[in-house]
Amino acid sequence: MTGPTILASGPWSADEVTYTWLQDEYEAPAEDIRAADEAIQRLKDRDSPSHDGISTRLAGHRVDERGRLHLELEPVRWALRLLPGGASRSMTGQCVVRDAAGRWLAGRRAAWVATWAGRWSLGAGGAVDPGESPMHTLERELEEEWKLRPERLQGLSLVLLPSDLVMFVGIAWVAGDATLDRDPEHDAHEWWPADVDAWPDHAEPALRQLARAVQDLG
């Protein structure tokens, strides 16, 4: 399996990421619709909220001569993101969080959530809402999951994952004395050391890879 593909690299401030919202919903192939229906049913069978509805898909993008990122976004069925090899370029935002000492905020996803259940992740993340800038997604998810407000927020990269999911990656810096309030989607959290090589054993290789990429771009 091939690894992630970098579609565009920043860094970008909030006003350097713009978007056009297309009104027509993406029409997925019939076999993908059936697979999405089955994926939602599996979530219901294990009493996980399905969250099915309308989300956001990357229809196109470009970087202008000044390095600013412009996105073409369109409505897409949320459940398509659950397909392991055909997420239809559904968009998600991933906000990596570091404090004044350079530590990384990590949270363990609760067993009942739809994606990444029982596994550790960095910072905050979730689907880009319809008509929403991915930069706002980063800030919104940070507030919803941890009740944190960043001192500084930066977009870093637009990444196509092997599952055909598109991830908009950014980084938030928070004050050293910042307090957080963990949401129910996480059942544990830790501040991992600034040195990625000193992370605990339960830090998956993909998270280490993400952190090192963030260090290179940030």
73, 21 contact by CB (below 8 A): yes
- Report the pLDDT averaged over residues 33-40: 94
Task: Check pLDDT > 70 for residue 124.
Answer: yes
CB-CB neighbours of 67 under 10 Å: 12
- Report the pLDDT averaged over residues 89-100: 96
Give how many domains the chain has, as a whole number.
1
Task: Reduce the DSSP state of residue 14 to 3 states and report it.
Answer: helix
Instruction: Produce one character per residue of 172-206: b if its CB has 16 or more CB atoms within 10 Å, e if not.
Output: bbbeeebebeeeebbeeebebeeebeebeeebeee
Task: Check pLDDT > 70 for residue 75.
Answer: yes
Q: Give the integer Cα–Cα distance in Å for 61 and 68.
A: 11
Task: Check pLDDT > 70 for residue 218.
Answer: no
Low-confidence winner among 20-24, 45-49, 69-73, 108-112 (lowest mean pLDDT): 45-49
Band (47; pLDDT cuts 50, 70, 90): confident
pLDDT digits (tens, 9 = 90+) for 154-179: 999 999 999 999 999 999 999 988 89
Q: Give the integer Cα–Cα distance in Å for 134 and 42.
A: 29
Q: What is the pLDDT of residue 50?
A: 65
Tell me whether strands 69-77 and 17-21 are parallel, antiparallel or unpaired. Answer: parallel
Which helix H or strand E contains 206, and what residues bound it? helix 205-217
Tokens (6 digits) for 207: 């998270």
Find where tokens 């910042």 sit: 178
Closest residue by Cα to residue 122 from 140, 138, 100: 138
Question: Which residues face 167 on adjacent strands?
Answer: 92, 159
Q: Name residues whose C-beta falls within 8 Å of residue 168's C-beta, 6 or more positions apart in sequence.
A: 91, 92, 93, 94, 128, 134, 135, 137, 138, 155, 157, 158, 159
Q: What is the pLDDT of residue 184?
A: 93
Model pTM? Answer: 0.93
Q: Give the integer Cα–Cα distance in Å for 111 and 92.
A: 20
CB-CB neighbours of 99 under 10 Å: 19
Q: Taking the chain, what is the end-to-end CA distance rounded to the nearest angstrom?
A: 27
User: For position 127, which CATH number holds?
Assistant: 3.90.79.10
